[in-house]
Structures are given as structure tokens and as C-alpha cells.
Structure 1
């Protein structure tokens, strides 16, 4: 999938994650801020990268601000942001 536009999904509420994606020409540029970074940064990054792989995204800038979201919420927010940015209808 090609990222065509900047797009966002999620909120900054407790137990949610705010995801912003935008075009990038130099691979995957992932930035994660999380209130549980020390405990779960690897799991969060893996969930995000799994979704990126599912959508065949190779070039993207993705910023995540996590407020303790569970994995299914992380995956859903990333998927929604990708669909919005790539012009894909769900």
C-alpha cells in the first residue's frame, strides 16, 4: 500500500492510542511515546509492524502516542489510519 496523505486515528484518552501516518520515501520511520514504554515497547512495535506488513507498507512515517491501549486497539487504530491515508475503503 502506498501512503498518499497524512491521516490520523484514535484519541489521547486513557486506554487508547493516537496514530498519525504520513508519506515517507525512506522506509519505515516509527516513533513511539507510551506511558508503558519500558514494559511494552517491543510488543507495541511488533503489533504495529505486523499491521504494516499485512498492508504491504514499506515507506511510512508513523507516530504513536499510547495511553495504555490493548493490542487489538493498537492494531485497529493503525489499520484505520492506513486506510485513511491510502484512500482504501473499509
Structure 2
């Protein structure tokens, strides 16, 4: 999946996540995760794993992913990421 522009999916409402994807000039998937400190401490690794696994599953490369988590469940994170990647790749 070739990301050609910046796109978003989701919101900053409780129990959701705002995913922003944009093209990157360097190879790979670059993730920036933002959430409350306690959430990052308890669930940060799981959230990162969900995002990275889904991005790889969709064939994303040369992409920067910014995720602003507000307590989203795994299936919500996957859906928001897929929507943002599809919007960014035409």
C-alpha cells in the first residue's frame, strides 16, 4: 500500500483513537503513540503491536503513523488505521 498523502480516521472522543498517516521519506513504518501515561504504561506495547501488525498486514511502507489513543479497543484501532491508510493511498 503506497501512502501518497496525509489522511485521518477516528476522533479524540472517549473510547476512540485518532489515526493520522502520512508519507515518509525513509523506509519502514514509523509510529508515534500518544495516550495518558498510565494507559501507555499498561497497554502501550499492545497498542503498538496492534498498529504495527495491521499496517504490515495491509502492506504499508514508507509511512508515518500518529495515533492519539483515548481508550480504544483493538478492533477500533485496526478499523481506524485501515480507513486512514485507504484514504491516504487513493
Please indicate, yes or no, whether the TM-score normalized by the shorter chain is above 0.5: yes
Given the alignment of the two structures, is residue 33 of structure 1 paired with residue 34 of structure 2, yes or no? yes
**Residue in structure 1 matching 2:78, options 65, 75, 78:** 75
> What is the CA deviation profile of residues 49-88 of structure 1, one whole-angstrom value per residue up to 9, with x for unaligned ones?
111111111210110000000000000000000000011x
TM-score by length of 1: 0.93
d(CA) in 2 for partners of 1:70, 1:77: 11
What runs of 5+ residues in structure 2 fail to find an aligned partner? none
Q: Which runs of 4+ in 1 moved over 2 A?
A: none
- Aligned pair count reads 87
